[in-house]
A and B are shown apart, each in its own frame.
Chain A
Amino acid sequence: MEFLRPATWEEALAAKADVPGAVPLQGGTDVMVEINFDVRRPAALLDLGAITSLSDWEVAADGRVRVGAAVPYARIITELGDRLPGLAQASRTVGSPQIRNRGSVGGNLGAASPAGDSHPPLLAGDAVIEAESAAGGVRMIPADTFYTGVKRNALRPDELIRAFWMSPATGPQYFSKVGTRNAMVIAVCSFAVALHPRERRAGTGLGSAAPTPRRARAAEDFLAAELDWDGAAPLTGPLLARFGELAAEAASPIDDVRGTAAYRRHAVAVMARRTLGWAWNDYRERVASCA
């Protein structure tokens, strides 16, 4: 095995082009488990730890937040909780403090597990993933098209993830996760909702409920048509129930050790109703306090 330690982003891209089989290494919380257990013996590890720019985030000229692939969950929680509240909530549920000090959204995207906790809020918040290769340059991939199969993503063999982009929240955002205990748990299933009041629509994201993380588009369309943005009237029971149903219909879960497909569908409907309820309550309070 080789241990490659590029000092710059350009060197990293060159190394990935030279050795496409090199496994990028960020926090290592996925990669090292596989190496420790002999699941994977890559030809080379490509340690991105020396490229400090990957651990920075900034507000870009267009107002969007650009977050480096290596910014660990712990810093997303403390530094980006106000701008990206849905992602920060999801980050708080990842592993343990030790895992959150190392694990990154870049690594979560690289692993592309259907159960990865960052994916639902990235989908609900219309995140765009910035990937780059030495030969192909920069490619901006909407989260929507990034997940291509179980643990597969849209990256080409010579591409690396540099950052993701997201607009700061203009409305309430919530994440909810079902697990067998409170901490240190892989999601049985998860759900994220983001209200986008200016565009009069809501975004959604489902986790661990299909081969890939995905949006519940019919549920989003339903909300865009039904939500009373101006009057901010309370949500009705039938509206919540229909939203839950549509969210569950977007799932195509499997039975596995963590839960049955039927349970997951049910749980998605419950989480969808609850997160929308929380988000809408917050929205109503904001509208009331502005009036």
Chain B
Amino acid sequence: MRVNLTVNGRAETADGVWEGESLLYVLRERLGLPGSKNACEQGECGSCTVYLDGLPVCACLVAAGQAEGREVRTVEGLADGDRLDPVQEAFVECGAVQCGFCTPGLVVQAHDLLERVPEPSDPEIREALAGNLCRCTGYEKIMDAVRLAAARKAAR
């Protein structure tokens, strides 16, 4: 089947999509956007997190056909040209990226948190990131990164 959707502000069409295919597969394999990672395909790790009509969701659990006519924003769509989003910047600076597999999902989820809650408490950060697994960092640097990004965004 054919699926039409908007990704990072651009109208896209994917052809020959299998009816049971996930949005994640369409993004990565058909539209050449490998930012969102495929790790578990069962909603457990959060590494495939993207915005769907403005809400962060696991792209692996959205059927491609459900994205018909909708707006998707991936980690690739957060930066402003060459200028990284403050969340991305903070992840790099704080050492919250090691192997980087979890990073795109965490960045999207943290980005959403800061859009809704500009000055989150630590429990709020932990709750927001509870669906994103990282096996490298031990999460402390990720917490640092979100706190730093919040401070920077507030200063802007």
Q: A-side interface residues toward B, CB under 8 Å?
A: 1-3, 5, 25, 27-29, 31-33, 35-37, 41, 44-45, 47, 49, 74, 95-99, 101-102, 182-184
User: CB < 8 Å: which of B1, B42, B63, B131 contacts A96?
Assistant: B131
- Number of B interface residues, CB 8 Å? 29
B60: A residues at CB distance < 8 A: 32, 36
Residues A28 and B61 in contact, CB atoms below 8 Å apart: yes
Supposing A32-B62, A184-B44 touch, asked if A95 and B131 sit within 8 A by C-beta, the answer is: yes
Residues A29 and B63 in contact, CB atoms below 8 Å apart: no
How many Å lie between the Cα of A184 and that of B43 in the bound state? 10
The smallest beta-carbon distance between A39 and chain B, in angstroms, is 11
B122 at the interface (CB under 8 A from A): no
The smallest beta-carbon distance between B4 and chain A, in angstroms, is 12
A36-B41, A101-B57 given; name 19 further pairs at CB < 8 Å. A1-B18, A1-B20, A3-B19, A32-B61, A33-B61, A35-B63, A36-B60, A36-B61, A37-B42, A45-B19, A47-B63, A74-B55, A95-B43, A96-B43, A96-B130, A97-B127, A99-B58, A102-B61, A182-B130
A101: B residues at CB distance < 8 A: 55-57
- Among B22, B55, B61, B62, which residue has the most Cβ atoms of chain A within 10 A? B61
Residues B65 and A183 in contact, CB atoms below 8 Å apart: no
Within 8 A of A (CB), among B51-90: 55-58, 60-63, 65-66, 68
The residue in chain B whose Cβ has the minimal distance to the Cβ of A101 is B55
B35 at the interface (CB under 8 A from A): no
